[in-house]
Amino acid sequence: MDQITLNNDVKCPAVGIGTYMLSPEDAENSVREALKMGYSLVDTANAYVNERAVGRGIRQSGVKRGDVFLSTKLWPSEYENASAVDETLERLGTDYADLLYIHQPAGNWLSGYRLLEKAYREGKARSIGISNFEGKYIEALAKEWEIVPQFIQVEAHPYFTQKELRTFLEPYGIKIMSWYPLGHGDSALLSEEIFADLGRKYSRTPAQVILRWHTQMGFAVIPGSRNTEHIRDNLDILGFELTGDEMAEIAKLDRGARYYHRTDEQLEHFALWQPSYEKA
Protein backbone atom coordinates (compact mmCIF):
# COMPACT_ATOMS: atom_id res chain seq x y z
CA MET A 1 0.00 0.00 0.00
CA ASP A 2 1.35 3.44 -0.93
CA GLN A 3 1.90 5.69 2.07
CA ILE A 4 1.82 9.47 2.47
CA THR A 5 4.30 10.91 4.97
CA LEU A 6 2.69 13.74 6.93
CA ASN A 7 4.36 16.87 8.30
CA ASN A 8 4.72 15.17 11.70
CA ASP A 9 6.28 12.02 10.11
CA VAL A 10 3.15 9.91 10.68
CA LYS A 11 2.40 7.77 7.63
CA CYS A 12 -1.10 7.51 6.15
CA PRO A 13 -2.28 5.05 3.48
CA ALA A 14 -2.96 6.74 0.14
CA VAL A 15 -6.21 4.83 -0.47
CA GLY A 16 -9.01 4.25 2.01
CA ILE A 17 -12.67 3.40 2.41
CA GLY A 18 -15.05 6.30 2.98
CA THR A 19 -18.38 5.92 4.78
CA TYR A 20 -20.21 9.13 3.86
CA MET A 21 -23.91 8.46 3.11
CA LEU A 22 -23.62 4.84 4.29
CA SER A 23 -26.17 3.54 6.77
CA PRO A 24 -24.79 1.97 9.94
CA GLU A 25 -25.39 -1.50 8.49
CA ASP A 26 -23.71 -0.67 5.20
CA ALA A 27 -20.81 1.10 6.92
CA GLU A 28 -20.19 -1.88 9.17
CA ASN A 29 -20.22 -4.29 6.24
CA SER A 30 -18.13 -2.11 3.92
CA VAL A 31 -15.45 -1.42 6.53
CA ARG A 32 -15.23 -5.09 7.53
CA GLU A 33 -14.90 -6.30 3.94
CA ALA A 34 -12.56 -3.49 2.90
CA LEU A 35 -10.12 -4.28 5.70
CA LYS A 36 -10.21 -7.95 4.80
CA MET A 37 -9.30 -6.97 1.21
CA GLY A 38 -6.22 -5.07 2.33
CA TYR A 39 -7.44 -1.53 2.99
CA SER A 40 -6.01 0.12 6.08
CA LEU A 41 -7.47 3.66 5.97
CA VAL A 42 -11.06 4.15 7.17
CA ASP A 43 -12.83 7.52 7.22
CA THR A 44 -16.00 8.48 9.10
CA ALA A 45 -17.44 11.45 11.01
CA ASN A 46 -19.81 12.42 13.80
CA ALA A 47 -22.21 13.70 11.14
CA TYR A 48 -22.31 10.39 9.25
CA VAL A 49 -23.94 8.86 12.33
CA ASN A 50 -22.19 5.54 11.73
CA GLU A 51 -19.13 5.71 14.02
CA ARG A 52 -20.27 2.81 16.19
CA ALA A 53 -20.86 0.74 13.06
CA VAL A 54 -17.40 1.62 11.75
CA GLY A 55 -15.91 0.48 15.05
CA ARG A 56 -17.80 -2.81 14.81
CA GLY A 57 -16.59 -3.30 11.25
CA ILE A 58 -13.00 -2.82 12.31
CA ARG A 59 -13.32 -5.32 15.15
CA GLN A 60 -15.12 -7.88 12.97
CA SER A 61 -12.44 -7.68 10.28
CA GLY A 62 -9.84 -9.36 12.44
CA VAL A 63 -7.32 -6.64 11.54
CA LYS A 64 -5.39 -5.30 14.53
CA ARG A 65 -6.35 -1.78 15.56
CA GLY A 66 -2.72 -0.70 15.17
CA ASP A 67 -2.84 -1.70 11.51
CA VAL A 68 -5.84 0.54 10.77
CA PHE A 69 -5.52 4.27 10.11
CA LEU A 70 -8.82 5.57 11.52
CA SER A 71 -10.07 9.03 10.62
CA THR A 72 -13.11 10.85 12.01
CA LYS A 73 -14.43 14.39 12.31
CA LEU A 74 -15.98 16.49 15.06
CA TRP A 75 -19.22 18.22 14.03
CA PRO A 76 -19.71 21.96 14.84
CA SER A 77 -22.27 21.17 17.55
CA GLU A 78 -19.39 19.50 19.44
CA TYR A 79 -16.84 22.29 19.17
CA GLU A 80 -17.60 23.65 22.63
CA ASN A 81 -18.13 20.23 24.23
CA ALA A 82 -15.07 19.49 26.35
CA SER A 83 -15.92 15.76 26.22
CA ALA A 84 -16.44 15.62 22.45
CA VAL A 85 -13.22 13.76 21.66
CA ASP A 86 -13.72 11.16 24.40
CA GLU A 87 -17.34 10.63 23.33
CA THR A 88 -16.29 10.20 19.70
CA LEU A 89 -13.63 7.67 20.65
CA GLU A 90 -16.16 5.82 22.82
CA ARG A 91 -18.51 5.47 19.86
CA LEU A 92 -15.66 4.14 17.73
CA GLY A 93 -14.57 1.73 20.45
CA THR A 94 -10.97 2.95 20.53
CA ASP A 95 -8.78 5.09 22.75
CA TYR A 96 -7.23 7.14 19.94
CA ALA A 97 -7.86 8.31 16.39
CA ASP A 98 -5.13 8.29 13.78
CA LEU A 99 -6.61 11.45 12.28
CA LEU A 100 -9.09 13.80 13.93
CA TYR A 101 -10.69 16.65 12.00
CA ILE A 102 -13.03 19.52 12.63
CA HIS A 103 -15.66 19.08 9.94
CA GLN A 104 -16.87 22.56 8.95
CA PRO A 105 -15.83 26.20 9.42
CA ALA A 106 -19.07 26.82 11.29
CA GLY A 107 -19.94 27.85 14.84
CA ASN A 108 -16.99 28.30 17.20
CA TRP A 109 -14.53 26.53 14.95
CA LEU A 110 -11.51 27.86 16.83
CA SER A 111 -12.77 26.17 19.99
CA GLY A 112 -13.13 23.00 17.94
CA TYR A 113 -9.58 23.27 16.69
CA ARG A 114 -8.34 23.73 20.25
CA LEU A 115 -10.00 20.39 21.07
CA LEU A 116 -7.95 18.79 18.29
CA GLU A 117 -4.72 20.33 19.55
CA LYS A 118 -5.46 19.12 23.07
CA ALA A 119 -6.23 15.61 21.79
CA TYR A 120 -2.98 15.61 19.82
CA ARG A 121 -0.95 16.64 22.86
CA GLU A 122 -2.65 13.94 24.96
CA GLY A 123 -2.04 11.18 22.41
CA LYS A 124 -5.73 10.78 21.61
CA ALA A 125 -5.07 11.85 18.01
CA ARG A 126 -1.94 10.87 16.09
CA SER A 127 -2.64 13.60 13.55
CA ILE A 128 -5.19 16.38 13.16
CA GLY A 129 -6.95 18.01 10.26
CA ILE A 130 -9.51 20.45 8.95
CA SER A 131 -12.34 19.63 6.59
CA ASN A 132 -13.87 22.14 4.15
CA PHE A 133 -11.67 25.02 5.33
CA GLU A 134 -10.75 26.92 2.19
CA GLY A 135 -10.05 30.52 1.25
CA LYS A 136 -10.72 32.97 4.08
CA TYR A 137 -11.39 30.18 6.57
CA ILE A 138 -8.00 28.48 6.35
CA GLU A 139 -6.32 31.88 6.23
CA ALA A 140 -8.06 32.84 9.48
CA LEU A 141 -7.20 29.54 11.13
CA ALA A 142 -3.54 29.78 10.09
CA LYS A 143 -3.27 32.92 12.22
CA GLU A 144 -4.52 31.02 15.27
CA TRP A 145 -3.26 27.45 15.16
CA GLU A 146 -0.66 26.36 17.68
CA ILE A 147 -0.18 23.01 15.95
CA VAL A 148 -0.18 22.96 12.15
CA PRO A 149 -2.70 20.40 10.85
CA GLN A 150 -1.52 17.40 8.90
CA PHE A 151 -4.52 17.09 6.56
CA ILE A 152 -7.28 19.05 4.91
CA GLN A 153 -10.25 17.17 3.46
CA VAL A 154 -11.85 18.96 0.50
CA GLU A 155 -13.53 18.36 -2.83
CA ALA A 156 -10.88 17.48 -5.42
CA HIS A 157 -10.97 15.74 -8.80
CA PRO A 158 -9.59 16.33 -12.32
CA TYR A 159 -12.18 19.05 -12.99
CA PHE A 160 -11.19 20.83 -9.76
CA THR A 161 -7.59 20.24 -8.72
CA GLN A 162 -7.47 22.81 -5.89
CA LYS A 163 -4.57 24.78 -7.42
CA GLU A 164 -4.96 27.83 -5.18
CA LEU A 165 -5.35 25.77 -2.03
CA ARG A 166 -2.35 23.60 -2.87
CA THR A 167 -0.21 26.71 -3.23
CA PHE A 168 -1.33 27.86 0.24
CA LEU A 169 -0.73 24.45 1.83
CA GLU A 170 2.72 23.75 0.41
CA PRO A 171 4.81 25.75 2.92
CA TYR A 172 3.06 23.96 5.79
CA GLY A 173 3.31 20.45 4.37
CA ILE A 174 -0.45 19.96 4.80
CA LYS A 175 -1.79 17.09 2.68
CA ILE A 176 -5.12 16.85 0.87
CA MET A 177 -7.63 14.06 1.36
CA SER A 178 -10.10 14.14 -1.54
CA TRP A 179 -13.85 13.86 -1.34
CA TYR A 180 -15.98 13.58 -4.49
CA PRO A 181 -12.81 12.04 -6.00
CA LEU A 182 -14.79 10.79 -9.02
CA GLY A 183 -16.65 14.05 -9.48
CA HIS A 184 -19.69 12.85 -7.55
CA GLY A 185 -20.08 10.10 -10.15
CA ASP A 186 -20.43 12.61 -12.99
CA SER A 187 -20.70 10.70 -16.25
CA ALA A 188 -19.06 13.58 -18.11
CA LEU A 189 -15.87 13.22 -16.06
CA LEU A 190 -15.88 9.43 -16.18
CA SER A 191 -16.46 9.53 -19.95
CA GLU A 192 -13.56 11.82 -20.77
CA GLU A 193 -11.65 10.28 -23.65
CA ILE A 194 -8.31 10.40 -21.89
CA PHE A 195 -9.55 8.11 -19.11
CA ALA A 196 -10.93 5.62 -21.62
CA ASP A 197 -7.63 5.64 -23.51
CA LEU A 198 -5.54 5.22 -20.38
CA GLY A 199 -7.92 2.57 -19.11
CA ARG A 200 -7.30 0.53 -22.24
CA LYS A 201 -3.55 1.06 -21.98
CA TYR A 202 -3.34 -0.04 -18.35
CA SER A 203 -6.26 -2.53 -18.33
CA ARG A 204 -8.13 -0.44 -15.79
CA THR A 205 -11.52 1.31 -15.67
CA PRO A 206 -11.75 5.10 -16.09
CA ALA A 207 -12.59 5.34 -12.37
CA GLN A 208 -9.43 3.45 -11.46
CA VAL A 209 -7.36 5.77 -13.65
CA ILE A 210 -8.87 8.81 -11.90
CA LEU A 211 -8.19 7.36 -8.45
CA ARG A 212 -4.60 6.64 -9.49
CA TRP A 213 -4.31 10.26 -10.65
CA HIS A 214 -5.29 11.33 -7.12
CA THR A 215 -2.57 9.28 -5.46
CA GLN A 216 0.04 10.53 -7.93
CA MET A 217 -1.04 14.08 -7.15
CA GLY A 218 -0.09 13.27 -3.56
CA PHE A 219 -3.71 13.17 -2.38
CA ALA A 220 -5.18 10.55 -0.09
CA VAL A 221 -8.44 9.28 -1.55
CA ILE A 222 -11.42 7.71 0.23
CA PRO A 223 -14.10 6.52 -2.21
CA GLY A 224 -17.06 4.96 -0.47
CA SER A 225 -19.26 2.11 -1.62
CA ARG A 226 -21.56 -0.57 -0.29
CA ASN A 227 -20.73 -2.77 -3.29
CA THR A 228 -17.90 -5.19 -2.51
CA GLU A 229 -16.78 -5.39 -6.15
CA HIS A 230 -16.51 -1.60 -6.35
CA ILE A 231 -14.60 -1.59 -3.07
CA ARG A 232 -12.20 -4.19 -4.50
CA ASP A 233 -11.78 -2.24 -7.76
CA ASN A 234 -11.08 1.01 -5.91
CA LEU A 235 -8.11 -0.60 -4.18
CA ASP A 236 -6.71 -2.07 -7.39
CA ILE A 237 -5.08 1.17 -8.55
CA LEU A 238 -1.52 0.88 -7.31
CA GLY A 239 -0.21 -1.69 -9.79
CA PHE A 240 0.38 0.86 -12.55
CA GLU A 241 1.77 4.38 -12.82
CA LEU A 242 0.73 7.26 -15.06
CA THR A 243 3.58 8.96 -16.90
CA GLY A 244 4.46 12.61 -16.52
CA ASP A 245 3.02 13.33 -19.94
CA GLU A 246 -0.23 11.56 -19.02
CA MET A 247 -0.51 13.53 -15.79
CA ALA A 248 0.06 16.73 -17.79
CA GLU A 249 -2.76 15.82 -20.19
CA ILE A 250 -5.14 15.13 -17.31
CA ALA A 251 -4.16 18.52 -15.82
CA LYS A 252 -5.70 20.18 -18.87
CA LEU A 253 -9.14 19.01 -17.71
CA ASP A 254 -9.06 21.37 -14.71
CA ARG A 255 -11.82 23.90 -15.20
CA GLY A 256 -12.24 25.02 -11.58
CA ALA A 257 -15.61 23.26 -11.50
CA ARG A 258 -17.03 22.21 -8.15
CA TYR A 259 -20.00 19.91 -7.61
CA TYR A 260 -20.71 21.17 -4.11
CA HIS A 261 -21.39 24.85 -3.47
CA ARG A 262 -21.70 25.77 0.21
CA THR A 263 -23.60 28.87 1.30
CA ASP A 264 -23.39 31.01 4.42
CA GLU A 265 -26.91 29.83 5.28
CA GLN A 266 -25.69 26.23 5.25
CA LEU A 267 -22.86 27.09 7.62
CA GLU A 268 -25.38 28.64 9.98
CA HIS A 269 -27.45 25.45 9.79
CA PHE A 270 -24.38 23.30 10.41
CA ALA A 271 -23.65 25.25 13.59
CA LEU A 272 -27.11 24.41 14.96
CA TRP A 273 -27.67 20.83 13.78
CA GLN A 274 -27.04 18.03 16.30
CA PRO A 275 -26.44 14.50 14.98
CA SER A 276 -28.56 11.74 16.57
CA TYR A 277 -25.79 9.50 17.81
CA GLU A 278 -28.12 6.86 19.23
CA LYS A 279 -28.72 5.78 15.61
CA ALA A 280 -25.03 5.13 15.01
Beta bridge partners of 129: 101, 151
DSSP symbol at 121: H
Is residue 234 a contact partner of residue 39, using CB atoms and an 8 Å limit?
no
Is 48 a catalytic site residue?
yes
Classify the C-alpha dihedral 24-263-152-118 as positive or negative: negative
Q: How far apart are CA 246 and CA 251, in angstroms?
A: 9
CA angle 159, 135, 267 (to 5 degrees): 95
Amino acid found at 187: S
Q: Return the H-helix or E-strand segment holding 212.
A: helix 206-216
Q: Point out the catalytic residue in the list 20, 39, 48, 259.
A: 48
Using alpha carbons, list the distances in angstroms from residue 127 to 50, 58, 71, 149: 21, 19, 9, 7
Q: Quote the CA–CA distance of 11 and 3 in Å, as a whole number.
A: 6
Rounded Cα distance, 43 and 33, in Å: 14
* Beta strands 11-13; 3-5: pairing state: antiparallel
CB 6 within 8 A of CB 177: no
Are 44 and 103 a contacting pair, CB within 8 Å? no
**β strands within 139-268, DSSP E:** 151-155, 175-179, 220-221
* Residues recognised as catalytic: 48
